[in-house]
Amino acid sequence: MPRRSIAEVKVLDVQKRRIPNKHYVYIIKVTWSNGSTEVIYRRYSKFFDLQMQMLDKFPMEGGQKDPKQRIIPFLPGKILFRRSHIRDVAVKRLIPIDEYCKALIQLPPYISQCEEVLQFFETRPDDLTPPKE
């Protein structure tokens, strides 16, 4: 059976979490090639980790040798902020992160369907039972 691929990704919103500490997650609706849809929750730091994996695995596509060759999308950068601005930062990143996800799954299949991308968007146990506030 061929492995399913990602058909569509939409970042719906941000949600505040308090477990294990106060942070925000992005609520993401993932539509798979088999027609199934799932909602997953990812912190910004997980997007950053994925981006680092992609740039390491695909240095040419990441523009390391020639910036004009870059096809891997840019992720909105890490921001240092005061505690009161965390929600503002999370909300401001919502559209750029949505655009990042959409651009990522539009890349050639050897990137958009690589193990790291598929694993990132796979449902995890904590996606099925998000912590109650």
Q: Mind listing the pLDDT tens digit for each residue in 28-86?
A: 999 999 999 999 999 999 999 999 999 999 999 999 999 999 999 998 776 655 555 66
**66 lies in some domain:** yes
Question: Which residue range forms the structural domain that includes residue 120?
Answer: 6-124
Q: By three-state DSSP, how is residue 132 classified?
A: coil
Residue 132 located in a structural domain: no
Q: Please report whether residue 1 resides in a domain.
A: no
Position 130 in a domain:
no
Assess contact for 28 and 94: CB atoms under 8 A: no
For the chain, the domain total comes to 1
Q: The pTM is what?
A: 0.87
Q: Rounded to whole angstroms, what are the CA distances from 106 to 22, 52, 68?
A: 33, 18, 18
Q: What CATH number has the domain bearing residue 71?
A: 3.30.1520.10
Q: 133: which DSSP letter?
A: -
Does residue 131 lie in a domain region? no
CA contacts within 13 A on the Cβ side of 22? 6
User: Does residue 11 form part of some domain?
Assistant: yes
